Amino acid sequence: MADTQNPHAIPHVDGDDTASAFVPVAPFEIVVFGGTGDLARRKLLPALYHRFCDNQIPANSRIVAVSRSEHSREDYLDLIKSNYLDFEQDENFSEKRWAKFCELVDYAGIDVIDGDNWDDLRGKLDPDEKLIRVFYLAMPPRLFGEICAKLKTAGLAHKGSRVVLEKPIGTDFDSAHEINEAVGQVFDEERIYRIDHYLGKETVQNLLVLRFGNVLLEPLWSSSAIEHIEITVAESIGVGGRGSYYDGSGALRDMVQNHLLQLLCLSTMEMPASINADDLRTEKIKVLRALEPVTPDSVEKVTVRGQYVKGMSEDGQPMDDYLSDVGVTSSQAETYVAIQAQIKNWRWAGVPIYLRTGKRMSSRRSEIVIQFKPVPHSIFGKGTPINPNKMVIRLQPDEAVKLWLEIKEPGAGGLRLKTLPLNLSYADNFTVRYPDAYERLLMDVVRGNLSLFMRRDEVEAAWRWVDGIIDAWASVEQPVQYYPAGSEGPKAASDMLAKNGDKWADISPL
């Protein structure tokens, strides 16, 4: 039964299925390549388990994890169980439910590059070609094309099958194009699901509802009323055990090319004709194509690269620098990036869109700040300042939408204004558990709903803009600016906004 005291508790049933609020998807089989990798163990298997607990996954579905390691099925089940218990705070964990879930799970040890035992995988799949078959490639993107080709040769990629590609798709436009071409040789575009897990977050989907489900915002949503927009994805974690990947990638490729640009698109695109995948994606791509390219002439004015050095956490713990975290003696990889972007269209011309993301910042916070313009004229006199309105869309944590307004402070003795928020907090209004982004996205793949996945031209357009920045950085040899771990990022990022009379919102905890 659901724990009504704890909105994040996972409802479990120990007996037979109880009535569920979730509509079950059709039976399916999913093959997870990279089955022993971090993503599969931390996110994908737990996500499938949670959907199973909500009775959304029919019991005749199957999950086959594939990896090079020579695990038996039992070893693999032990591994995912101990990972689940380590990573998830599941107060209501049920051995019985977990055992039922395990009946769906199988394991195949295949070296996808050199192995010739693809028949082992075939033997674990249903020969019925009408059954939905999902291949999830939680592997380095350079292998995507090759794996797809092998699936084709092995006769496994039948018409009912679809493929999920984890980000990043490539490291630049050329590599992304090459991967898309190779995957496209095997799967039609409508069968390719390019994941950006930010699109699976509740609050990111809420952007669409907030903008297009309310009549109030649209008339104000342009340069006529908006001064600037700020999109921040700040993380308090460092690079963890992903140093070798991260050092070759940096924050621009890891976060901006995908998550931040998706947030930018959803915040600024025109209203799509419908919520259907192609209508939605067509509007997003128009934004990407309208982004002002960053050139060697503008790059130092509109971007800041940063890297953390030793610092202190919020609770006073010393934190290492990036170089020690990664185990290298020198690196110019950016762990922080701030960009002043411009969208060249009628709606947004002249409105700075500030993007910022960083590791080891003072706290974890993702939010979109819509800063409105000041009132054109004040009737209250010079001694009564009026703060411009602001809307803060908090994506995580403490999900909320806050609209800051001016009101009269009650009391005698003159007229004083106060700035207070209308606060639409998720915690105050909803007691449901928020599913992890992967839960929603995995079920959408099975349902065949592409709305929350990136189309090929979208990924390539994002790379074109990002490539411009990477090339410009190389051309002017723009160095990283250092910032202490646990801080709000390099001073240069504040200076960039100060030149326009603007200021970043605080990242420190509320």
| Residues assigned a catalytic role | 259
Q: Which tokens hold the place of 466? A: 């990002």
Nearest to 322 by CA among 127, 445, 485: 485
Torsions phi, psi of 193, nearest 5? -110, 100
Region for residue 4 given its phi and psi (left: phi exceeds 0; alpha: psi -120 to 50; beta: otherwise): alpha
Smallest gap from Cβ 361 to ligand BG6, in A, equals 12
Dihedral angle of Cα 501, 502, 506, 510, to the nearest 10 degrees = 100
Closest separation in Å from C-beta 56 to ligand BG6: 22
Min. distance of Cβ 74 from ligand BG6 in angstroms? 32
Q: Rounded to the nearest whole angstrom, what is the least distance from the CB of residue 116 to ligand BG6 in the complex?
A: 33
The 226-234 sheet, strands edge to edge: 417-425, 400-408, 390-396, 365-372, 226-234, 353-358, 336-341, 303-309, 481-484
In the numeric block, the tokens 């600024």 are attached to 268
Q: What is the 3-state secondary structure (H, E, C) of 247-301?
A: HHHHHHHHHHHHHHHHHHHHHHCCCCCCCCHHHHHHHHHHHHHHECCCCCCCHHH
Write the interaction track for ligand BG6 spanning residues 391-430; mark x where CB under 6 A is met and - where it is not.
----------------------------------------
Which CB, 121 or 485, lies closer to ligand BG6? 485
Q: How far apart are CA 197 and CA 254, in angstroms?
A: 12
SS3 of 85, please? helix
Question: Which CB, 256 or 446, lies closer to ligand BG6?
Answer: 256
Site for ligand BG6 in 196-235 (CB under 6 A): 235
Compute the least distance from the CB of residue 336 to ligand BG6, in Å: 12
Please name the amino acid found at residue 241. G
Give the shortest CB-356-to-ligand BG6 separation in angstroms.
Answer: 14
> Which residue is nearest to ligand BG6, using beta carbons?
254
For residue 254, the minimal CB distance to ligand BG6 (Å) is 5
Residues 242-271 that bind ligand BG6 (CB under 6 A): 254
Nearer to ligand BG6, 110 or 470 (CB): 470
What span, in angstroms and rounded, lies between the C-alpha atoms of 481 and 334? 9
Would you tell me how many other CB atoms lie within 10 Å of the CB of residue 210? 19
Tokens 């001073």 locate to: 491
| Separation CA 338–CA 489 (nearest Å) | 9
Q: Which is nearer to ligand BG6, 235 or 439 (CB)?
A: 235
Q: What angle do CA 116, 77, 238 make, to 5 degrees?
A: 90
Size of the site for ligand BG6 (CB under 6 A): 2
Cβ proximity to ligand BG6, 254 vs 399, nearer residue: 254
Identity of the residue, 438 or 504, whose beta carbon is nearer to ligand BG6 in the bound complex: 438
Is 215 or 237 the residue whose CB approaches ligand BG6 more closely? Answer: 237
The residues that touch ligand BG6, with contacts defined as CB under 6 A, are 235, 254
